[in-house]
Amino acid sequence: MKSWIFSTESDGAASSAALEAMTKVRSFGGEVAAVHVGEGSESALAMLGAHGAGRVLLVPGGTPAGVIAAAMAAAVESEQPDMIFFGMGNVDRDVAGRLSARLGKPVLANAVDVTVDGDSIHVVNEILGGTTRVVTAFADGAPALVITRPKAFAAEPGGDTSPEVTAVELPDVGHAGDVELLSQHTEASAGPDLEAADIVVSGGRGLGDATKFEMMNELAGLLGGAVGATRAVVDAGWVPYSYQVGQTGKTVKPNVYIACGISGAMQHLVGMKDSTTIIAVNKDPEAPIFGIADLGIVGDVHNVVPALIAALKNRG
């Protein structure tokens, strides 16, 4: 089995989705290579090596997706990988989609598991808010293109640490590559890293307006947790996209997830349903979030949360 893993670099690190997928494909045996987009810093390359990449195909950061896809298609032709794994990041999805169309091969998205039995590769998805698992096979030959959900696999080191690095040749794709990166901007979010936090306090529409979101920061601060939000709240512009938990945002699996004023749309549930303990406060007793909560309080977040904050402060 020959597997390729797509990775993008940020702050000197390889993408966590890549390290997770690499850990998974090590169990299939065979050759593992990373297609890494970014500067190729020593630390990022070391991470890829430590997770099993024997080789790294390096693509400069900011390369248009059309160019990356064309370069990868050429390399697929000469090297014939069996599988190519992508994460859910925007660059991942751009390249996966374009490569799929270029090769005429399907890409199976939202994978929570992948199994290999002889020549057949099966991808497992969870649909309908995680209540149903669907197993899909590729009808056509290699390479199997897969987009995995974050945290579908745990990342564990276990490989050689100095991969061989090759710069990928970038073809001219004409008009399809006519995308220019003009500037990059960072919108920092305060507090601990949402994806790694042990406690997550998340707010939804039920908070009423953006000013009430401050309660989430205060509660998270007292508990030493991170702050998350629903897509509705991000769409409304209360907090930046980096706060979003759900299908199109981050996937979190903290020890404790406290959902405040969140009804529990499927979109949101898929991003947090695997938290160890879920506590929900919502005024609608029919809210779907109560179906998965370990403790549900049917009540007004504007009463319950301030009372909780006061009680936590009293404990000192």
Partner 1 sequence: MKIVVCVKQIPDPASPYELDPNTHFVVRPNDQVLDDTDRYGVEVALQLADEIGDDASVTLLSMSPGGSQQGIRQALAMGADGAILVEDPALRGADALTTARVLAAAAQRAGADLLIAGTESTDGYTGVVPQQVAELMEAPSLTFARKVEYVDGKIRIERQTEAGYDVVAGSLPAVLSVTSGLVEPRYPTFKGIMQAKSKPVEILTAADLGVAPTVNQTIVAVESVPARQAGDVIEDDGEGHLRILEKLEEVKVV
Q: How far apart are CA 24 and CA 123, in angstroms?
A: 13
Site membership for partner 1, residue 162 (CB under 8 A) = no
> Contact at 8 Å (CB) between 81 and 190?
no
Residues 41-70 close enough to bind partner 1 by CB under 8 A: 64-66, 69
Residue for token digits 């065979």?
30
Site membership for partner 1, residue 210 (CB under 8 A) = no
> Contact at 8 Å (CB) between 289 and 281?
no
Out of 258, 259, 262, 272, the residue judged to bind partner 1 by CB under 8 A: 258
Contacts of 68 (CB under 8 A, 6+ apart): 37, 59, 95, 98
Considering only 40-48, 76-84, 159-167, 228-236, which stretch makes contact with partner 1 by CB under 8 A?
228-236
Out of 157, 191, 298, 302, the residue judged to bind partner 1 by CB under 8 A: 298
Closer residue to partner 1 in complex, CB, 78/184: 184
To the nearest whole angstrom, how small is the minimum distance from the Cβ of residue 94 to partner 1? 5
Out of 98, 149, 151, 205, the residue judged to bind partner 1 by CB under 8 A: 98
Site membership for partner 1, residue 128 (CB under 8 A) = yes
Out of 60, 248, 253, 302, the residue judged to bind partner 1 by CB under 8 A: 248
> Contact at 8 Å (CB) between 252 and 193?
no
* Pair of tokens at residue 79: 């090297």
Do you find a cis peptide bond into 143, omega within 30 degrees of 0? yes
Site membership for partner 1, residue 186 (CB under 8 A) = yes
> Contact at 8 Å (CB) between 83 and 4?
yes
Out of 30, 54, 192, 291, the residue judged to bind partner 1 by CB under 8 A: 291
To the nearest whole angstrom, how small is the minimum distance from the Cβ of residue 55 to partner 1? 26
Q: How many CB atoms lie within 10 A of CB 164?
A: 12
Among 244, 236, 240, 300, which Cα is nearest to 272's?
A: 244
Site membership for partner 1, residue 27 (CB under 8 A) = no
Site membership for partner 1, residue 253 (CB under 8 A) = no
